[in-house]
Structure 1
Amino acid sequence: MGLANPLASPYAGVAGAYGGEGIGDVAVAGEMPVAGTTMVAGQVPILGAVRFAGDLPAGGVVSIAGSCGCGAAGPILY
């Protein structure tokens, strides 16, 4: 099964899957200051949960665009 496997989504047949599969933990302890612009290009296969305690001031814009690797020309629903 590849990253663009539509069967990996619990919404298969209802909406297009963005892709990605795997199991893992990402942990950040302490301070993680981020300032400026953060850009991510390519594939980022991360699924999981994020938990925060306390105030989390944030602002900005997020854009997500993608397509499957199967070459389908139809619209993608997220």
Structure 2
Amino acid sequence: MIVRWRKDQEYFIVRLYQDLVGDWILSQSWGDCLSDESNISHTVLPSYQEARRLLRVIAREQRQRGYRHEDRNEVQLRFDFS
């Protein structure tokens, strides 16, 4: 899952995915489109429910900071590695 927010030239992107050992990873990246400055952080979560809870908290914080949710039609590929 990929969720994007924008405020002027600033962006904030969250990616939620499950790694190969079954942990849920929530990656946050943010920066400014007009500069080379950007940051990223990764949080390992024990369950999908915990990851979604954190995503709801992040969404609320972004709205409070004046960011707008950006809809994008993206195809999420599902691979079966079993």
Q: Same fold (TM over 0.5)?
A: no
> Please, what TM-score do these two structures have when normalized by structure 1?
0.29
Q: Which has the higher helix share?
A: 2
Larger relative contact order, structure 1 or 2 (CA cutoff 8 Å, min sep 6): 1
